[in-house]
Amino acid sequence: MKRYHVYGLGAALVDTEIEVSDRDLAAMGVEKGLMTLVDDQRQQQLLDHLSGHLVHSRRACGGSAANSIIGLSQFGGSAFYSCRVAADDNGRFYREDMRAAGVDCPPRADGDDSNGTTGKCLVMITPDAERTMNTFLGASAGLSMADLAPQAIADSEYLYLEGYLVTSPDGRAAAIAAREMAERNGVKTALSFSDPGIVAHFRDGLRDMLGERIDLLFCNSHEAMSWAQTDDLEQAAAALKQIANTFAITLGADGAMVYDGTQTHAIEPFAVKAVDTNGAGDMFAGAFLYGITRGLDFPSAGRLASLAAATVVANYGPRLQRAQQQQLLAQLGLN
């Protein structure tokens, strides 16, 4: 039996979530609904502009793959996460917060940037619940193969990669190396496209990260159709079958579509009043991975993931409390 259900690799970001208006975004020259990489100075300019706005999030460790791994862990799964932080207060907090969530991570590595800054993500939420992210990668930009834990990869059922890694040459190389380690050790591989902008601008790099075929792919409908270069979801799903053995496509308020390698299943949505879509896809992936590594079939795992994602968007922030997640399992009779 493997020690970990999932080994995750991705950015280490400390999140700040702020309510904004569409007018705010336009005034700041921020493109709505996407993740944009910025430097520390630009991020501070945005924060200065938004001073006085309502801040919803307390300090918490984040990053797309990290949110998924935490979600899996708080359902009861076992997980390991590799990332890179700086030797600053946020970096120390990040490792402590990750461990408090039940996720194993390496002790402070020699490669941690003693002179740098731990990555930060400014998440701006508009009244329609859409999230727009401006991210300063900080130390995460230096994530490399040196940050991998080969034994932990080999001792996992799944390797999970975030598509955001493609934006950094070293991060992309680390993702490819991790996938190759997993394949050599019979570990299944999973990847999230992460963001429509990633698919649009880093297509070739994503192909390299996917390899010949990925075992499990996560994306939303916009990312799927962007990858397939079509506006037809069925055509997009057919294109994904060429690069992934199985996949899950989230459809927002319409639920999800999951493909188990043989059959496509429609996953019905759970109706909620959305206040913040930040973290919905991350939670879907974490809950789905928890489900399939605990023996659920794809429709059952999809139902859990759909409920978990709906619960996240009905709250502010990309994470739920452990007790909330256990209540979701009880609601579906899975605990």
Q: Output the domain CATH number for residue 182.
A: 3.40.1190.20
Q: Is residue 202 part of a domain?
A: yes
Q: Is residue 283 part of a domain?
A: yes
Rounded to an integer, the average pLDDT of 106-121 is 70
pLDDT at position 13: 93
Q: Is residue 49 part of a domain?
A: no
Q: Is residue 313 part of a domain?
A: yes
Q: Is residue 243 part of a domain?
A: yes
List pLDDT tens digits, range 1-23.
899 999 999 999 988 888 899 99
Domain of residue 308 covers 4-12+63-111+143-331
| Six token digits for residue 13 | 């970001």
Stated pTM of the model: 0.92
Q: Is residue 135 part of a domain?
A: no
List pLDDT tens digits, range 127-158.
998 889 898 999 999 999 999 999 999 999 99
Cα–Cα nearest to 221, from 243, 199, 206: 199
Q: Is residue 127 part of a domain?
A: no
186: Cβ contacts below 8 Å, ≥ 6 apart: none
Give the whole-angstrom CA distance, residue 195 versus residue 162: 10
Q: If pLDDT is split at 50, 70 and 90, which confidence band does 108 have? A: low
The domain total for the chain is 1
Q: Is residue 172 part of a domain?
A: yes
| Six token digits for residue 250 | 């989230």
280 CB burial (10 A radius; 0-12, 13-18, 19+) = buried
